[in-house]
Chains A and B, each alone.
Chain A
Amino acid sequence: MMKTGVKITLLLLVTTSITSLLLGTFIAVMRISRSRFLRACGTLYVEIFRNIPGLFWLLFFYFLFPELLPPEIGAKLNGYLYYPVVAGILGLTVDNASYVSDILRSGRLAIPHSQREAAISAGLSRMQQYFHVLLPQMYRAALPPLGTRMVHNFKNTSLCMAITAPELTWATQQIESLTFRGIEATALATLFYIALAGVMITLIVTLEKILKIDISSITHSRS
Protein backbone atom coordinates (compact mmCIF):
# COMPACT_ATOMS: atom_id res chain seq x y z
CA MET A 1 0.00 0.00 0.00
CA MET A 2 2.89 2.34 0.85
CA LYS A 3 4.47 1.42 -2.46
CA THR A 4 1.36 2.38 -4.40
CA GLY A 5 1.19 5.57 -2.32
CA VAL A 6 4.73 6.53 -3.31
CA LYS A 7 4.03 5.72 -6.96
CA ILE A 8 0.86 7.81 -7.07
CA THR A 9 2.52 10.72 -5.24
CA LEU A 10 5.38 10.65 -7.74
CA LEU A 11 2.92 10.44 -10.61
CA LEU A 12 1.00 13.45 -9.26
CA LEU A 13 4.21 15.38 -8.69
CA VAL A 14 5.75 14.80 -12.12
CA THR A 15 2.53 15.28 -14.08
CA THR A 16 1.32 18.40 -12.31
CA SER A 17 4.78 19.99 -12.33
CA ILE A 18 4.83 19.75 -16.10
CA THR A 19 1.18 20.63 -16.76
CA SER A 20 1.12 23.55 -14.34
CA LEU A 21 4.35 24.91 -15.82
CA LEU A 22 2.86 24.75 -19.32
CA LEU A 23 -0.49 26.23 -18.30
CA GLY A 24 1.22 28.81 -16.11
CA THR A 25 3.47 29.89 -18.99
CA PHE A 26 0.45 30.18 -21.27
CA ILE A 27 -1.42 32.32 -18.73
CA ALA A 28 1.69 34.45 -18.09
CA VAL A 29 2.09 35.16 -21.81
CA MET A 30 -1.59 36.12 -21.96
CA ARG A 31 -1.09 38.52 -19.08
CA ILE A 32 1.81 40.30 -20.74
CA SER A 33 0.34 40.31 -24.24
CA ARG A 34 -0.62 43.44 -26.13
CA SER A 35 -4.28 42.47 -26.37
CA ARG A 36 -6.36 43.91 -23.57
CA PHE A 37 -8.81 41.01 -23.92
CA LEU A 38 -6.11 38.35 -23.43
CA ARG A 39 -4.67 40.29 -20.50
CA ALA A 40 -8.10 40.45 -18.88
CA CYS A 41 -8.63 36.70 -19.42
CA GLY A 42 -5.27 35.92 -17.84
CA THR A 43 -5.91 38.15 -14.87
CA LEU A 44 -9.37 36.65 -14.39
CA TYR A 45 -7.84 33.19 -14.37
CA VAL A 46 -5.27 34.09 -11.75
CA GLU A 47 -7.80 35.86 -9.55
CA ILE A 48 -10.22 32.93 -9.67
CA PHE A 49 -7.78 30.09 -9.20
CA ARG A 50 -5.40 31.72 -6.76
CA ASN A 51 -8.06 33.08 -4.46
CA ILE A 52 -9.90 29.80 -4.00
CA PRO A 53 -8.18 27.07 -1.93
CA GLY A 54 -6.54 24.22 -3.80
CA LEU A 55 -8.55 21.72 -1.80
CA PHE A 56 -11.72 23.24 -3.20
CA TRP A 57 -10.51 22.66 -6.76
CA LEU A 58 -9.73 19.03 -5.95
CA LEU A 59 -13.25 18.56 -4.60
CA PHE A 60 -14.63 20.48 -7.57
CA PHE A 61 -12.99 18.24 -10.15
CA TYR A 62 -13.83 15.10 -8.19
CA PHE A 63 -17.49 15.74 -7.38
CA LEU A 64 -18.78 18.54 -9.59
CA PHE A 65 -16.84 18.39 -12.82
CA PRO A 66 -18.27 15.04 -14.01
CA GLU A 67 -21.79 16.41 -13.40
CA LEU A 68 -21.08 19.39 -15.66
CA LEU A 69 -20.15 17.17 -18.59
CA PRO A 70 -22.66 15.35 -20.82
CA PRO A 71 -24.13 12.49 -18.74
CA GLU A 72 -22.49 9.62 -20.70
CA ILE A 73 -19.01 11.08 -20.29
CA GLY A 74 -19.65 12.04 -16.66
CA ALA A 75 -20.81 8.52 -15.81
CA LYS A 76 -17.77 7.03 -17.53
CA LEU A 77 -15.46 9.32 -15.53
CA ASN A 78 -17.17 8.48 -12.25
CA GLY A 79 -16.81 4.80 -12.98
CA TYR A 80 -13.13 5.09 -13.88
CA LEU A 81 -11.03 3.49 -11.16
CA TYR A 82 -8.32 6.13 -11.30
CA TYR A 83 -10.61 9.13 -11.66
CA PRO A 84 -9.53 10.43 -8.21
CA VAL A 85 -5.98 10.64 -9.55
CA VAL A 86 -7.15 12.39 -12.72
CA ALA A 87 -9.22 14.84 -10.67
CA GLY A 88 -6.18 15.36 -8.45
CA ILE A 89 -4.00 16.20 -11.46
CA LEU A 90 -6.60 18.64 -12.80
CA GLY A 91 -7.14 20.33 -9.42
CA LEU A 92 -3.45 20.67 -8.60
CA THR A 93 -2.67 21.90 -12.11
CA VAL A 94 -5.17 24.74 -12.21
CA ASP A 95 -4.23 25.77 -8.68
CA ASN A 96 -0.47 25.69 -9.17
CA ALA A 97 -0.63 27.28 -12.63
CA SER A 98 -2.12 30.44 -11.16
CA TYR A 99 0.94 30.87 -8.95
CA VAL A 100 3.37 29.85 -11.69
CA SER A 101 1.93 32.42 -14.07
CA ASP A 102 2.30 35.18 -11.54
CA ILE A 103 5.89 34.18 -10.75
CA LEU A 104 6.73 34.10 -14.47
CA ARG A 105 5.11 37.47 -14.97
CA SER A 106 7.40 38.88 -12.31
CA GLY A 107 10.26 37.28 -14.23
CA ARG A 108 9.16 39.16 -17.34
CA LEU A 109 9.16 42.42 -15.42
CA ALA A 110 12.80 41.79 -14.50
CA ILE A 111 13.83 41.79 -18.18
CA PRO A 112 14.66 45.28 -19.44
CA HIS A 113 12.69 46.55 -22.41
CA SER A 114 15.94 46.86 -24.34
CA GLN A 115 16.04 43.07 -24.71
CA ARG A 116 12.82 43.16 -26.68
CA GLU A 117 14.13 46.09 -28.71
CA ALA A 118 17.21 44.07 -29.61
CA ALA A 119 15.03 41.14 -30.64
CA ILE A 120 12.66 43.36 -32.65
CA SER A 121 15.59 45.04 -34.41
CA ALA A 122 17.01 41.67 -35.37
CA GLY A 123 13.83 41.02 -37.34
CA LEU A 124 12.54 38.26 -35.07
CA SER A 125 8.79 37.69 -35.17
CA ARG A 126 6.75 38.00 -31.97
CA MET A 127 6.71 34.24 -31.46
CA GLN A 128 10.48 34.05 -32.00
CA GLN A 129 11.01 36.91 -29.56
CA TYR A 130 9.15 34.94 -26.92
CA PHE A 131 10.73 31.57 -27.59
CA HIS A 132 14.34 32.61 -28.00
CA VAL A 133 14.74 35.82 -26.03
CA LEU A 134 11.99 36.48 -23.50
CA LEU A 135 10.83 33.10 -22.16
CA PRO A 136 14.33 31.71 -21.49
CA GLN A 137 15.14 34.84 -19.51
CA MET A 138 11.79 34.77 -17.72
CA TYR A 139 12.42 31.22 -16.49
CA ARG A 140 15.92 32.11 -15.37
CA ALA A 141 14.87 35.24 -13.52
CA ALA A 142 11.96 33.42 -11.92
CA LEU A 143 13.75 30.17 -11.10
CA PRO A 144 14.26 30.64 -7.33
CA PRO A 145 10.60 31.45 -6.51
CA LEU A 146 9.49 28.95 -9.15
CA GLY A 147 11.45 26.21 -7.37
CA THR A 148 9.83 27.02 -4.05
CA ARG A 149 6.43 26.95 -5.72
CA MET A 150 7.10 23.50 -7.17
CA VAL A 151 8.05 22.15 -3.74
CA HIS A 152 4.83 23.65 -2.43
CA ASN A 153 2.92 21.89 -5.20
CA PHE A 154 4.64 18.65 -4.22
CA LYS A 155 3.34 19.01 -0.67
CA ASN A 156 -0.11 19.84 -2.00
CA THR A 157 -0.30 16.36 -3.57
CA SER A 158 -1.18 15.15 -0.06
CA LEU A 159 -4.47 17.05 -0.32
CA CYS A 160 -5.55 14.47 -2.87
CA MET A 161 -6.27 12.10 0.01
CA ALA A 162 -9.52 14.06 0.43
CA ILE A 163 -10.72 12.71 -2.89
CA THR A 164 -9.42 9.19 -2.19
CA ALA A 165 -6.55 9.32 -4.65
CA PRO A 166 -4.36 6.52 -3.26
CA GLU A 167 -1.30 8.71 -2.76
CA LEU A 168 1.13 8.52 0.15
CA THR A 169 -0.85 10.41 2.81
CA TRP A 170 -3.98 8.50 1.94
CA ALA A 171 -2.05 5.24 2.19
CA THR A 172 -0.67 6.24 5.60
CA GLN A 173 -4.20 6.89 6.82
CA GLN A 174 -5.39 3.55 5.46
CA ILE A 175 -2.57 1.64 7.15
CA GLU A 176 -3.37 3.38 10.42
CA SER A 177 -7.07 2.50 10.25
CA LEU A 178 -6.57 -1.05 9.00
CA THR A 179 -3.57 -2.21 11.03
CA PHE A 180 -3.16 0.44 13.76
CA ARG A 181 0.51 0.71 12.78
CA GLY A 182 0.16 4.41 12.18
CA ILE A 183 3.42 5.44 13.78
CA GLU A 184 5.54 3.33 11.47
CA ALA A 185 3.58 4.37 8.41
CA THR A 186 3.71 8.04 9.33
CA ALA A 187 7.44 7.87 10.05
CA LEU A 188 8.03 6.31 6.65
CA ALA A 189 5.86 8.87 4.88
CA THR A 190 7.65 11.71 6.70
CA LEU A 191 11.03 10.40 5.61
CA PHE A 192 9.82 10.08 2.06
CA TYR A 193 8.44 13.62 1.93
CA ILE A 194 11.63 15.09 3.42
CA ALA A 195 13.86 13.09 1.10
CA LEU A 196 11.94 13.94 -2.07
CA ALA A 197 11.62 17.62 -1.22
CA GLY A 198 15.38 17.55 -0.53
CA VAL A 199 16.02 16.03 -3.93
CA MET A 200 13.83 18.68 -5.59
CA ILE A 201 15.61 21.53 -3.86
CA THR A 202 19.02 20.10 -4.75
CA LEU A 203 17.93 19.83 -8.39
CA ILE A 204 16.69 23.41 -8.42
CA VAL A 205 19.86 24.77 -6.82
CA THR A 206 21.98 22.80 -9.29
CA LEU A 207 19.90 24.14 -12.16
CA GLU A 208 20.39 27.67 -10.88
CA LYS A 209 24.14 27.11 -10.88
CA ILE A 210 24.19 25.53 -14.32
CA LEU A 211 22.16 28.37 -15.78
CA LYS A 212 24.48 30.81 -14.00
CA ILE A 213 21.58 32.58 -12.38
CA ASP A 214 22.62 36.04 -11.63
CA ILE A 215 19.73 38.44 -11.80
CA SER A 216 22.21 41.25 -12.28
CA SER A 217 23.45 39.56 -15.44
CA ILE A 218 19.96 39.76 -16.87
CA THR A 219 19.08 43.21 -15.66
CA HIS A 220 22.49 44.86 -15.80
CA SER A 221 21.79 46.37 -19.16
CA ARG A 222 18.74 48.26 -17.94
CA SER A 223 19.08 51.75 -19.24
Chain B
Amino acid sequence: MIKFINTNKWFNNRHILKNINLDIAKGEVIVICGPSGAGKSTLLRTINKLEQIDDGEIIVDGMYLSDPKTNLTSLRAEIGVVFQQFNLYPHKTALKNITLAPRKVRGLSKRQARERAIKLLERVGLTHRKDAYPVQMSGGEQQRVAIARSLAMEPKVMLFDEPTSALDPELINEVLDVMTSLAREGMTMVVVTHEIGFAQKVADRVVFMDEGEILEVGSPPDIFLNPKHPRTKEFMSKVFHIPVFGDAEEE
Protein backbone atom coordinates (compact mmCIF):
# COMPACT_ATOMS: atom_id res chain seq x y z
CA MET B 1 0.00 0.00 0.00
CA ILE B 2 2.81 2.38 0.94
CA LYS B 3 6.38 1.74 -0.09
CA PHE B 4 9.44 3.81 0.76
CA ILE B 5 12.45 3.13 -1.46
CA ASN B 6 15.78 4.65 -0.39
CA THR B 7 14.04 7.82 0.71
CA ASN B 8 16.22 10.72 1.80
CA LYS B 9 15.46 14.22 2.93
CA TRP B 10 17.73 17.06 3.88
CA PHE B 11 16.80 20.27 5.59
CA ASN B 12 19.43 23.02 5.60
CA ASN B 13 22.21 20.46 5.25
CA ARG B 14 20.72 18.39 8.04
CA HIS B 15 20.03 14.85 6.91
CA ILE B 16 16.60 14.31 8.45
CA LEU B 17 15.51 11.15 6.65
CA LYS B 18 18.29 8.68 6.00
CA ASN B 19 17.79 6.02 3.38
CA ILE B 20 14.33 4.94 4.50
CA ASN B 21 13.09 1.60 3.21
CA LEU B 22 9.73 0.44 4.43
CA ASP B 23 6.88 -1.54 2.95
CA ILE B 24 3.46 -1.16 4.50
CA ALA B 25 0.82 -3.67 3.50
CA LYS B 26 -2.88 -3.05 3.07
CA GLY B 27 -4.70 -3.34 6.39
CA GLU B 28 -1.52 -3.10 8.38
CA VAL B 29 -1.19 -0.92 11.48
CA ILE B 30 2.27 0.58 11.80
CA VAL B 31 3.37 2.51 14.86
CA ILE B 32 6.40 4.75 14.52
CA CYS B 33 8.15 5.62 17.75
CA GLY B 34 11.40 7.14 18.81
CA PRO B 35 12.80 10.21 20.54
CA SER B 36 11.71 13.69 19.48
CA GLY B 37 13.61 15.00 16.48
CA ALA B 38 13.97 11.48 15.11
CA GLY B 39 12.07 12.38 11.94
CA LYS B 40 8.90 10.43 12.77
CA SER B 41 6.47 13.18 11.84
CA THR B 42 8.49 14.12 8.79
CA LEU B 43 8.39 10.53 7.59
CA LEU B 44 4.63 10.40 8.11
CA ARG B 45 4.09 13.69 6.31
CA THR B 46 6.04 12.61 3.24
CA ILE B 47 3.33 10.02 2.55
CA ASN B 48 0.87 12.67 1.32
CA LYS B 49 3.64 15.04 0.27
CA LEU B 50 3.09 17.64 2.97
CA GLU B 51 6.85 17.23 3.10
CA GLN B 52 8.83 16.82 -0.08
CA ILE B 53 11.58 14.22 -0.28
CA ASP B 54 14.90 14.96 -1.98
CA ASP B 55 15.91 11.50 -3.04
CA GLY B 56 14.37 8.06 -3.47
CA GLU B 57 10.75 7.18 -4.12
CA ILE B 58 7.49 6.74 -2.27
CA ILE B 59 4.72 4.69 -3.82
CA VAL B 60 1.23 5.05 -2.37
CA ASP B 61 -1.56 2.85 -3.68
CA GLY B 62 0.45 2.21 -6.83
CA MET B 63 1.11 5.88 -7.50
CA TYR B 64 4.62 7.29 -7.59
CA LEU B 65 4.82 10.52 -5.59
CA SER B 66 7.77 11.82 -7.59
CA ASP B 67 5.92 11.37 -10.89
CA PRO B 68 4.71 14.78 -12.07
CA LYS B 69 1.74 13.04 -13.69
CA THR B 70 0.46 11.81 -10.33
CA ASN B 71 -2.66 13.75 -9.42
CA LEU B 72 -1.65 14.78 -5.96
CA THR B 73 -5.00 16.34 -5.03
CA SER B 74 -6.94 13.16 -5.73
CA LEU B 75 -4.28 11.02 -4.06
CA ARG B 76 -4.50 13.17 -0.94
CA ALA B 77 -8.25 12.66 -0.88
CA GLU B 78 -7.53 8.94 -0.34
CA ILE B 79 -5.22 9.60 2.61
CA GLY B 80 -6.77 10.77 5.86
CA VAL B 81 -4.53 12.77 8.16
CA VAL B 82 -5.10 13.40 11.87
CA PHE B 83 -2.87 16.10 13.32
CA GLN B 84 -1.48 16.66 16.79
CA GLN B 85 -3.28 20.01 17.01
CA PHE B 86 -6.54 18.65 15.47
CA ASN B 87 -6.63 21.50 12.92
CA LEU B 88 -10.41 21.64 12.73
CA TYR B 89 -11.74 24.59 10.74
CA PRO B 90 -12.58 27.03 13.57
CA HIS B 91 -15.31 28.83 11.62
CA LYS B 92 -17.30 25.68 11.00
CA THR B 93 -19.39 23.48 13.28
CA ALA B 94 -18.39 19.86 13.88
CA LEU B 95 -20.90 18.74 11.26
CA LYS B 96 -19.71 21.26 8.66
CA ASN B 97 -16.10 20.33 9.34
CA ILE B 98 -16.97 16.78 8.38
CA THR B 99 -19.19 17.52 5.36
CA LEU B 100 -16.93 20.04 3.59
CA ALA B 101 -14.52 17.73 1.77
CA PRO B 102 -17.04 14.97 0.92
CA ARG B 103 -19.26 17.60 -0.69
CA LYS B 104 -16.57 19.53 -2.52
CA VAL B 105 -14.13 16.77 -3.40
CA ARG B 106 -16.37 13.69 -3.62
CA GLY B 107 -19.34 15.61 -4.94
CA LEU B 108 -21.81 14.25 -2.40
CA SER B 109 -25.14 16.07 -2.08
CA LYS B 110 -25.79 18.07 1.06
CA ARG B 111 -28.08 15.34 2.38
CA GLN B 112 -25.75 12.45 1.62
CA ALA B 113 -22.82 14.25 3.23
CA ARG B 114 -24.91 15.08 6.27
CA GLU B 115 -26.09 11.51 6.69
CA ARG B 116 -22.55 10.24 6.44
CA ALA B 117 -21.34 12.84 8.93
CA ILE B 118 -24.06 11.98 11.45
CA LYS B 119 -23.15 8.29 11.20
CA LEU B 120 -19.51 9.09 11.82
CA LEU B 121 -20.30 11.40 14.73
CA GLU B 122 -22.34 8.56 16.20
CA ARG B 123 -19.38 6.27 15.77
CA VAL B 124 -17.03 8.63 17.67
CA GLY B 125 -19.77 9.25 20.25
CA LEU B 126 -20.37 12.92 19.49
CA THR B 127 -23.80 13.14 17.86
CA HIS B 128 -24.85 15.64 20.52
CA ARG B 129 -21.97 17.94 19.59
CA LYS B 130 -22.78 18.21 15.90
CA ASP B 131 -23.57 21.93 16.04
CA ALA B 132 -20.69 22.86 18.34
CA TYR B 133 -17.81 24.97 17.10
CA PRO B 134 -14.27 23.72 17.74
CA VAL B 135 -13.67 26.33 20.48
CA GLN B 136 -16.64 24.94 22.36
CA MET B 137 -15.26 21.42 22.43
CA SER B 138 -12.62 19.73 24.56
CA GLY B 139 -9.41 18.57 22.96
CA GLY B 140 -10.55 14.96 22.99
CA GLU B 141 -13.83 15.88 21.32
CA GLN B 142 -12.04 17.96 18.70
CA GLN B 143 -9.70 15.13 17.90
CA ARG B 144 -12.58 12.67 17.55
CA VAL B 145 -14.30 15.10 15.17
CA ALA B 146 -11.02 15.38 13.27
CA ILE B 147 -10.91 11.59 12.92
CA ALA B 148 -14.53 11.57 11.75
CA ARG B 149 -13.67 14.32 9.26
CA SER B 150 -10.92 12.18 7.75
CA LEU B 151 -13.08 9.05 7.71
CA ALA B 152 -15.84 10.90 5.86
CA MET B 153 -13.63 10.78 2.77
CA GLU B 154 -13.52 6.98 3.06
CA PRO B 155 -9.74 7.00 2.81
CA LYS B 156 -7.61 4.01 1.96
CA VAL B 157 -4.97 4.99 4.50
CA MET B 158 -5.10 6.94 7.74
CA LEU B 159 -2.08 8.82 9.05
CA PHE B 160 -1.96 9.88 12.68
CA ASP B 161 0.65 12.43 13.71
CA GLU B 162 0.94 12.24 17.51
CA PRO B 163 -2.86 12.38 17.82
CA THR B 164 -2.91 12.34 21.61
CA SER B 165 0.14 14.43 22.45
CA ALA B 166 -1.82 17.67 22.83
CA LEU B 167 -4.52 16.09 24.99
CA ASP B 168 -5.07 16.09 28.73
CA PRO B 169 -4.30 12.62 30.14
CA GLU B 170 -7.93 11.81 30.92
CA LEU B 171 -8.96 12.55 27.32
CA ILE B 172 -6.38 10.34 25.66
CA ASN B 173 -8.32 7.09 25.95
CA GLU B 174 -11.44 8.31 24.20
CA VAL B 175 -9.29 9.04 21.14
CA LEU B 176 -7.29 5.81 21.38
CA ASP B 177 -10.52 3.82 21.62
CA VAL B 178 -11.71 5.22 18.32
CA MET B 179 -8.35 4.44 16.74
CA THR B 180 -8.37 0.92 18.14
CA SER B 181 -11.77 0.15 16.68
CA LEU B 182 -10.63 1.56 13.36
CA ALA B 183 -7.60 -0.71 13.37
CA ARG B 184 -9.80 -3.74 14.19
CA GLU B 185 -11.88 -2.96 11.10
CA GLY B 186 -8.85 -3.38 8.91
CA MET B 187 -7.95 0.23 8.15
CA THR B 188 -4.39 0.72 6.95
CA MET B 189 -2.90 3.02 9.58
CA VAL B 190 0.43 4.71 10.17
CA VAL B 191 0.61 6.16 13.65
CA VAL B 192 3.29 8.31 15.21
CA THR B 193 2.69 8.06 18.94
CA HIS B 194 4.27 7.75 22.36
CA GLU B 195 1.36 5.63 23.58
CA ILE B 196 3.18 2.35 24.12
CA GLY B 197 0.05 0.68 25.48
CA PHE B 198 -1.84 1.44 22.30
CA ALA B 199 1.06 0.22 20.18
CA GLN B 200 1.27 -3.07 22.08
CA LYS B 201 -2.44 -3.69 21.71
CA VAL B 202 -2.99 -2.60 18.13
CA ALA B 203 0.20 -2.41 16.09
CA ASP B 204 1.16 -5.13 13.64
CA ARG B 205 4.65 -3.75 13.45
CA VAL B 206 6.56 -1.09 15.32
CA VAL B 207 9.15 1.08 13.62
CA PHE B 208 11.82 2.58 15.84
CA MET B 209 13.50 5.70 14.47
CA ASP B 210 16.34 7.86 15.68
CA GLU B 211 18.17 10.70 13.97
CA GLY B 212 16.35 10.20 10.70
CA GLU B 213 17.07 6.50 10.48
CA ILE B 214 14.93 3.42 10.90
CA LEU B 215 16.93 1.40 13.44
CA GLU B 216 14.55 -1.46 14.03
CA VAL B 217 11.27 -2.82 12.71
CA GLY B 218 9.46 -5.62 14.47
CA SER B 219 6.44 -6.84 16.34
CA PRO B 220 5.51 -4.83 19.45
CA PRO B 221 7.02 -7.40 21.88
CA ASP B 222 10.22 -7.50 19.81
CA ILE B 223 10.69 -3.78 19.91
CA PHE B 224 9.40 -2.99 23.38
CA LEU B 225 10.61 -6.01 25.33
CA ASN B 226 13.53 -7.42 23.36
CA PRO B 227 15.05 -4.53 21.48
CA LYS B 228 18.24 -5.43 19.62
CA HIS B 229 19.73 -2.09 18.74
CA PRO B 230 21.51 -0.37 21.68
CA ARG B 231 19.74 2.92 20.91
CA THR B 232 16.35 1.19 21.04
CA LYS B 233 17.32 -0.47 24.33
CA GLU B 234 18.28 2.85 25.84
CA PHE B 235 15.06 4.53 24.65
CA MET B 236 12.80 1.72 25.88
CA SER B 237 14.47 1.66 29.26
CA LYS B 238 13.70 5.35 29.62
CA VAL B 239 10.14 4.97 28.41
CA PHE B 240 9.45 2.11 30.79
CA HIS B 241 11.48 3.74 33.58
CA ILE B 242 13.57 0.62 33.90
CA PRO B 243 17.06 1.52 35.07
CA VAL B 244 19.79 0.31 32.76
CA PHE B 245 22.70 -1.48 34.39
CA GLY B 246 24.44 0.55 37.03
CA ASP B 247 21.92 3.43 36.97
CA ALA B 248 20.03 1.84 39.83
CA GLU B 249 21.22 4.16 42.53
CA GLU B 250 20.15 7.21 40.54
CA GLU B 251 16.70 8.58 41.20
Contacts and interface: CB of A to CB of B under 8 A. Distances in A.
B133 A217 contact: yes
A110 to B, nearest CB: 11
Contacts of A115: 87, 89
A124 interface: yes
A75 B159 CA distance: 65
A123 B90 CA distance: 18
Contact of A123 (B73, B86, B91): B73
A223 B84 contact: yes
B85 A114 contact: yes
Given A114-B83, A123-B153, A125-B73, A137 B100 contact: no
B90 A217 contact: yes
A192 B81 CA distance: 54
Contacts of B91: 136-137, 140, 211, 218
Contacts of B88: 118, 221
A123 B77 contact: yes
B85 A221 contact: yes
A122 B83 contact: no
Nearest to B76: A123
B153 A212 contact: no
A121 B50 contact: yes
Given A121-B48, A123-B74, A123-B101, A217 B134 contact: yes
Complex A-B, nearest 6 residue pairs according to Cβ-Cβ distance, in ascending order: A123-B77, A118-B87, A122-B101, A121-B81, A217-B135, A221-B85
Interface of B: 48, 50, 73-74, 76-81, 83-91, 100-101, 104-105, 133-135, 149-150, 153
